[in-house]
Amino acid sequence: MFIYCFYGEKIMRKSMAIADEIYQIDWVHLTIKTQKSLYQIIIRARRPIKLTGLSLFTMKIETFGKIVKSAYSAYNLLKST
């Protein structure tokens, strides 16, 4: 589970960095068609790519922490009874 959450977080961060990298390009020397294409990519890159589990939760490190915390709480509850 940790691997899925780790790479889900990594994918989300990399996808958000795409817009910043495109913005750093020297736009003056590009054709109008290329500028429009890059602009559309920037608009799409504002929404990060997310790896989800069953469309219920996003795979990220925070989610993994919550799962471990819930599992530990359930373990302690079952252990005490």
pLDDT confidence band for 9 (50 / 70 / 90): confident
Q: Is the pTM of this model over 0.75?
A: no
What is the residue extent of each domain of the chain? Answer: 2-80
- Evaluate whether 50 touches 8 at the Cβ level (below 8 Å): yes
**Per-residue pLDDT tens for 24-70?**
888 888 899 999 999 998 888 888 877 777 777 778 888 888 888 98
> Does residue 16 have a pLDDT over 90?
no
Angle between helices 32-45 and 2-23 (to 10 degrees): 150
pLDDT confidence band for 22 (50 / 70 / 90): confident
